[in-house]
Structure 1
Amino acid sequence: MLDKTEVIEVLNDLILINNDRIEGYKKAYDETDESDYDLKTLYGNLAEHSRQNVSELNSEVSALGGEPASGTMLSGKIYRAWMDVKAAFSSDDRKTSLENSEFGEDVAQKAYETALRSEVLTPELRALITKQKATLKSGHDTIKRLRDSEKVAH
């Protein structure tokens, strides 16, 4: 038997982690120098992926009769504050931005892994979450590749 409350909780956790990504990438986009066009484009695209994820997850929560989560996770707020402090003391903004982004992507991957370990998901929800995780993983890998190229360049 499907425990709708547990399913909604799992989905709402993913909504919150995606909201964290949206806020984090909006901030990274705004703080990235115009000369780093590739990063600005990447951050904009990653935020858009999360907006799409939130839209899909909101639909699923509503279909289950639940209230979609809004706002961000406390850990996301702490993470963004830590990013602010770290960036203030950094001498290489591009590299630091990529390192911070990779940290956030690692957190998102863990959240999706936790959701996929849940036994309350229907096969359809598991497929949706697996698809979203793969999209996030692609973003993570792009950030990691760019970060690694920054290490070589410096």
Structure 2
Amino acid sequence: MASNSAVVDILNDLILINNDRIEGYKKASDETDGSDTDLRSLYSNLADHSRNINSELTSEVTALGGEPATGTMVSGKLYRTWMDVKSAFSNDGRKTSLENSEFGEDAAQKAYETALQSDELTADLRILITRQKAILKDGHDTIKRLRDSAQAAH
């Protein structure tokens, strides 16, 4: 087991990816057609999941003597810009929104997989991160199922 700073770095990466989810779902909700109330509600719930997760992660970082990360990842900012460009050229907002959301969910799953590969985590942190990954995976699977339905409808 290594230093607290290595663990803080891992946890802060997860905070940043969850911040990306929050910002991404805010953007997706804002750009979702008003008739797609189910998507707006889903996006709000998924952002809330990340807020709750970040509360847990922030507590752990603080307990380790670290400074919790703020802001988002550069890759997340670039991705949101790409979402803007892609949306501008799409004539199926629902399908595009779900495709973009799935891409973000895939990134979150990869970040959690990377964190869980680390030997730096305590058993308790590994349990916490595994539980959080499962929560995010449920969101991923919901997005994927809706995306598949949207594709089948066209």
TM-score (norm 1): 0.98
- 1:100 has 2:100 as partner: yes
How far does the alpha carbon of each residue in 1:44-69 deviate from its partner, in whole angstroms, 9 at most, with x for none? 00000000011000000000000000
What pairs up with 1:125-140 in 2 under 5 angstroms? 125-140=125-140
Q: Name 1:7's counterpart in structure 2.
A: 7
Q: What residue identity is the alignment partner of 1:89?
A: F
Q: CA shift at 1:31, angstroms?
A: 1.1
Q: Name 2:114's counterpart in structure 1.
A: 114
Q: Name 1:35's counterpart in structure 2.
A: 35
Q: Counterparts of 1:2 and 1:55 in 2: how far apart (Å)?
A: 24
Q: Counterparts of 2:146 and 2:133 in 1: how far apart (Å)?
A: 20
Unaligned runs of 5+ in 2: none
How far does the alpha carbon of each residue in 1:4-55 deviate from its partner, in whole angstroms, 9 at most, with x for none? 0100000000000000000000111111112101100100000000000110
Q: Name 1:88's counterpart in structure 2.
A: 88
Q: Counterparts of 2:65 and 2:2 in 1: how far apart (Å)?
A: 13
Q: CA shift at 1:151, angstroms?
A: 1.1
Q: What residue identity is the alignment partner of 1:37?
A: T
Q: CA shift at 1:2, angstroms?
A: 3.9
Q: What residue identity is the alignment partner of 1:136?
A: L
What's the C-alpha RMSD, in Å, of the aligned pairs? 0.7
Q: What residue identity is the alignment partner of 1:146?
A: L
Q: Name 1:74's counterpart in structure 2.
A: 74
Q: Counterparts of 1:25 and 1:57 in 2: how far apart (Å)?
A: 20
Unaligned runs of 5+ in 1: none
Runs of 4+ in 1 over 2 A off after TM superposition: none
TM-score (norm 2): 0.98
Aligned positions, number: 154
Q: CA shift at 1:152, angstroms?
A: 1.0
Q: Name 1:145's counterpart in structure 2.
A: 145
